[in-house]
Structure 1
Amino acid sequence: MVTNKSKVDDPQDLNFIPPSVEKEHVLSGESYAYYTPIPAAITPHDKSNPINPTTESTPCVLGVDEAGRGPVLGPMVYGAFYLPLDLHHSLLAEEHSFDDSKVLTPGVRANLMRLLNTPGENLFESCGYAIKLLSARDIGSGMMKPGTAVYNLNAQAMDATIEIIRGVVEERGVDVKEVYIDTIGNPATYQQKLERIFPSLKITVAKKADSLYPCVSAASVAAKVTRDVALEVLYEAVLAEQSLDTTPEGWGSGYPSDSKCTGWLRRNMDPVFGWGNECRFSWGTAKEMLELKGGARVDWPVDDDEDGNGMLSDFLLTSGPNKSTAGQSGMQEWFGQKQAEIL
């Protein structure tokens, strides 16, 4: 009997770090997009001769799903997964048993992700994927903009979806014929918005699309594994900063409903700065802790100089023969650091 190796729950796969996790960006709190190379089984549009192409492009299907919409800790990750139309069900559903990432074990998800990134494996040779990672810092800063400038989570999610579809279809020339997407809000409204942006694509937006369409299931796996590994990278960095003598309890799943998560937030809250790039400050959980449970209120100095001269930024950033530089480098090193770092 032949075992389907993509269904094997191998603990070693949990240590696999996919190329979609770019540690430098994750640790610095930057959002970013990642695209795999176009797989060997897919011939893209001939951009050099769009009117009379010398080769025929491969008709493909593409699915989109996200992971990490609700947590207070870590990024939200959108995944787009594409492959030839004629392999959609046979490769993903029958051979590798992709399903909604939430019903797969962490080991199975990690194994599937490893196969997707291993040259010579049929998933690698036939399938490509794209990732848009929205950092906790950028999510929070967008949602906390004042007034009409606010950049809410639905708008950020929509823009992430558009970016990775456009990156695959327009920038890389993949001949996508059908697109399946797990919905944000009302499926019909969401679908109409995307159809206006991509009029040449046959788009289907549906609830529970990750359990209905194999390409969306695969996108959910790519997004989920990327988020989980990125969250682990952030946690390891926090542990390294703390240099603890005892084993910490951990921060759990990162969801506000997780007692480990809220417990970690309480124990590790700086009274002025709160937390680092791992936290979404726009979430009610974080706001409440900062405002009601011990956060220090800071009154920052206001510049009263009407002509704009003598600003603190000038002192920190300008130098020259007519500028006093005494103490300037010291102020630059101090400004914005946590109190514990300068004691």
Structure 2
Amino acid sequence: MKDQLPETVDDFEEQQPPTNHVFMPPSLDRSRLLSGDSYTFYSPIPRKVLTSSSIINEPTPCVLGVDEAGRGPVLGPMVYCAFYLPQDLHHSLLTKDYSFNDSKVLTPDVRSNLMRLICTSDHPLFDSCGWSVRVLSAREISSGMLRPSSGVYNLNAQAMDATIELIRGIVGERSVDVKEVYIDTIGNPNTYQKKLEQIFPSLKITVAKKADALYPCVSAASVVAKVTRDAALELCYEALIKNDQKLALEEQAESQVPVDGWGSGYPSDTRCVSWLRNDMNPIFGWGDECRFSWGTAKDLLEGKEGTKVEWPVEDDNGARLTDLFVRQNTGKLEGNGELRNWYGCRGRNPF
């Protein structure tokens, strides 16, 4: 597929790399992130949503906004966020008291600070605002998109499913009384809205282009999604650096990781492309941090940087690929076969 490039010049800010001190939100699941898994995180239901202000003890009516970060990068996850709060606080809290806006027009420090306040106990934002994120790993994005043509799970379908899961988790499983939903569109807003209205007929749903600049709850969702993705990128890169430094010491060789990092992870970022080129295994490519279905990755693997692999004929005296992992005469996958010593150990070459 073609890389997901920004739609407008305004989207360039989305491609800026995270700062070195991005806030690490509780939405980061380190073990699942580093293992290449997708996952969903839900914040606690805020006190002002649980406690009705009306005389009759009725549920607190809420608004909910959905937005994403990281649709176009070749590196790192795509993060979807659903952000909700009481209807009567929608504009007063998010725009008058705290200046939420489309995350792309806010500086990284401002975004991190807003996220920190959202996660700070007894703060007005913590007491009033709930949120959830669906972190779609690079590995699972690519595995869906690289299925045989009859079963391709494209990026729009993955994004739609993430949105549906988040809304169901908040409205259905957590019984938050959401009245209005605002969503930044994927493709045609009318088509997208009709699909969601069929799934959630009781909700008033508005799907619009640039919803993150029009509706404060979508702006807040864009901030949470962007900070979560930035933090995920930083965490993955730090883990990669530590692993490569360990290998460098073991092999008494210099790490191939560029000093200036991998930038924003977008194909248009020269630091990103430089990292991909320098850190690429000519046969196996990269790790779980890379979207192999992106054109940038495909071009590098299939170009002169990559190594063409000729696979042996299947009927080769009954030999199997797993035989390379098996200790002789035992038949167990616990031996010291050539590839077993390499597989899963980034940077090692068995040949």
Q: Deviations over 1:190-237 (max 9, x none)?
A: 000000111110000000000000000000000000000000011111
Query: Given that residues 14 and 106 in structure 1 are in contact (C-alpha distance below 8 angstroms), is that contact kept between their aligned partners in structure 2?
Result: no
Query: Given that residues 315 and 328 in structure 1 are in contact (C-alpha distance below 8 angstroms), is that contact kept between their aligned partners in structure 2?
Result: no
- Aligned counterparts of 2:108 and 2:324: Cα–Cα separation in 1: 51
1:140-151 equivalences under 5 Å are 140-151=142-153
Query: Given that residues 187 and 205 in structure 1 are in contact (C-alpha distance below 8 angstroms), is that contact kept between their aligned partners in structure 2?
Result: yes
Q: Deviations over 1:47-78 (max 9, x none)?
A: xxxxxxx9411100000000000011111000
Counterpart of 1:141, as a letter, is S
Structure 1's 292 and 86: CA in aligned 2 closer, same or farther, altered over 3 A? same
- The match for 2:330 among 316, 324, 330 is 324
- The match for 2:24 among 3, 6, 17 is 17
- Aligned counterparts of 1:194 and 1:270: Cα–Cα separation in 2: 42
2:49 corresponds to 1:42: yes
Structure 1's 188 and 142: CA in aligned 2 closer, same or farther, altered over 3 A? same
- The match for 1:135 among 134, 137, 142 is 137
- The structural deviation recorded for 1:342 is 4.5
2:276 corresponds to 1:262: no
TM-score (norm 1): 0.86
- Which has the larger displacement, 12-21 or 250-259? 12-21
Structure 1's 117 and 154: CA in aligned 2 closer, same or farther, altered over 3 A? same
- Aligned counterparts of 2:142 and 2:20: Cα–Cα separation in 1: 32
Query: Given that residues 31 and 138 in structure 1 are in contact (C-alpha distance below 8 angstroms), is that contact kept between their aligned partners in structure 2?
Result: yes
**How many pairs were matched up?**
320
Structure 1's 300 and 17: CA in aligned 2 closer, same or farther, altered over 3 A? same
Aligned residue for 1:79, secondary structure, equals: strand
Percent of aligned pairs sharing the same letter: 61
- Aligned counterparts of 1:274 and 1:305: Cα–Cα separation in 2: 27
- The structural deviation recorded for 1:274 is 0.5
- Aligned counterparts of 1:262 and 1:152: Cα–Cα separation in 2: 23
- Aligned counterparts of 2:146 and 2:112: Cα–Cα separation in 1: 34
- Aligned counterparts of 1:103 and 1:153: Cα–Cα separation in 2: 25
- Aligned counterparts of 1:303 and 1:101: Cα–Cα separation in 2: 52
TM-score (norm 2): 0.84
Structure 1's 141 and 176: CA in aligned 2 closer, same or farther, altered over 3 A? same
Structure 1's 312 and 328: CA in aligned 2 closer, same or farther, altered over 3 A? farther
Match of 2:348 in 1: 340
Structure 1's 318 and 196: CA in aligned 2 closer, same or farther, altered over 3 A? farther
Counterpart of 2:209, as a letter, is K
- The structural deviation recorded for 1:143 is 0.6
Q: Deviations over 1:14-37 (max 9, x none)?
A: 342100111111111100000001
- Which has the larger displacement, 292-301 or 174-183? 292-301
- The structural deviation recorded for 1:185 is 0.4
Q: Deviations over 1:73-117 (max 9, x none)?
A: 111000000000000000001100100000001011000000111
Counterpart of 1:98, as a letter, is F
Match of 2:250 in 1: none
Task: Identify unmatched segments of 5+ residues in structure 1.
Answer: 1-10, 46-53
1:56-205 equivalences under 5 Å are 56-205=58-207
Counterpart of 1:24, as a letter, is S
- The match for 2:35 among 16, 28, 31 is 28
Counterpart of 1:299, as a letter, is E
Query: Given that residues 277 and 305 in structure 2 are in contact (C-alpha distance below 8 angstroms), is that contact kept between their aligned partners in structure 1?
Result: no
Match of 2:296 in 1: 285
Q: CA RMSD in A?
A: 2.8
Query: Given that residues 44 and 174 in structure 1 are in contact (C-alpha distance below 8 angstroms), is that contact kept between their aligned partners in structure 2?
Result: no
Aligned residue for 1:70, secondary structure, equals: coil
Counterpart of 1:324, as a letter, is T
Counterpart of 1:30, as a letter, is D
Structure 1's 137 and 56: CA in aligned 2 closer, same or farther, altered over 3 A? same
